[in-house]
Amino acid sequence: MPDTITKLAYQALQQGKSYFGLAHKAVSTQVMQTVSPPKDLQTTPLDIKSLQLLQQRMGDLLERDWQDTEAGVYPKELLFDNPWDDFFRFYPLVCLDLPQIWERLNKRDHHRFSDDIDTAGYPKYYLQNFHHQTDGYLSDMSANLYDLQVEILFNGTADPMRRRILAPLKQGLAAAGVEDGAKVLDVACGTGRTLGMIRDALPKTSLYGVDLSPTYLRKANENLLAKPGLLPQLVQANGESLPFVDNYFDGVVSVFLFHELPAVARQNVINEMYRVVKPGGTVVLCDSIQRLDSPEFEAAMENFPAMFHEPYYRHYTTDDLNLRLTDVGFESVSNQVHFMSKYWVCRKPAAV
């Protein structure tokens, strides 16, 4: 009975998040159409069959999330780990930021940063207002709003999609005999949500995170300090040139990075992951679905870069990352698809 009540509570929480995300988008879209109607924005409405399939896959994702807690992959408390303080503090700012987003959308102004933002030293592809975010990934406000914006975008399923990396990561570490005391790196760790989940699932693991944004790393440090556990080592660095020696990590993960990289940078990051992971180590990637294996959602994939500023997304949806991974040397490459995310699980060959 207690587990039944817990599951019902989880389902109610996720249903509430879904309704809230849908309501926010419906209201903000209506206001935008009235106040600042988008110019030359062409999108394809999803048909009823696609919407029903999306709803079914969302349900499948949440059921898988629950089943992984039942299997002991991570504690049930993680299902309810919602940053409510940030929600009440920052949701009003999400709404207040919308007029600036609409202005950039209409002007196609994708490289605007406040005067106090230091843009020196970053790769050119990074200096974008991804998702039309104010100051891109380089301001404290952006870091404070990011997790909430992503949860709204995915109707409350961003965390369940992130958690799908935990089972294959734990399985890979266990197969290598290093589940306790393993060293795991999160490339493009952002605000630390994924690192926090790994810490809850693998409390004896030494965690590391790298990200290009100093403000997102500050937010990650704040988030991770708010809960008990070993504090991950956070480093400002480019995933194309990781500041670690060869064969250092037992596992490497990355969530929602590759669709925001041009093809050359994508390959460079994969090369670096191969370099720093130990022989026999596991790499788990999570990102958007692709046309290669989700053609039924092609309209949604076409709409996404049209509605949000994602300059590298269209190429990403046709990019064969399996081939990139095997070409650099990874083996046992496998894929999973959960709702709107795709996963790559692979292993660096063990030393002979």
* pLDDT interval class at 2 (50, 70, 90): low
- The H-or-E segment that residue 235 falls in is strand 233-236
Going across the sheet that includes 233-236, the strands are 233-236, 206-211, 183-187, 249-255, 277-288, 341-347, 331-338
Give the chain's end-to-end CA distance (angstroms, integer): 51
Give 323-336 pLDDT, tens digit per residue: 999 999 999 999 99
Length in residues, the chain: 352
- What the block records as the tokens of 328 is 């650099």
CA–CA distance, 102 with 242 (Å, rounded to integer): 36
Measured CA to CA in angstroms, residue 308 lies from 42, 52, 156, 333 at distances of: 12, 23, 18, 30
Class of domain 158-347: alpha beta
pLDDT tens by residue, 36-94: 888 777 788 888 999 999 999 999 999 999 999 999 999 999 999 999 999 999 999 99
* Whether pTM exceeds 0.85: yes
Q: Where are the domains of the chain?
A: 158-347
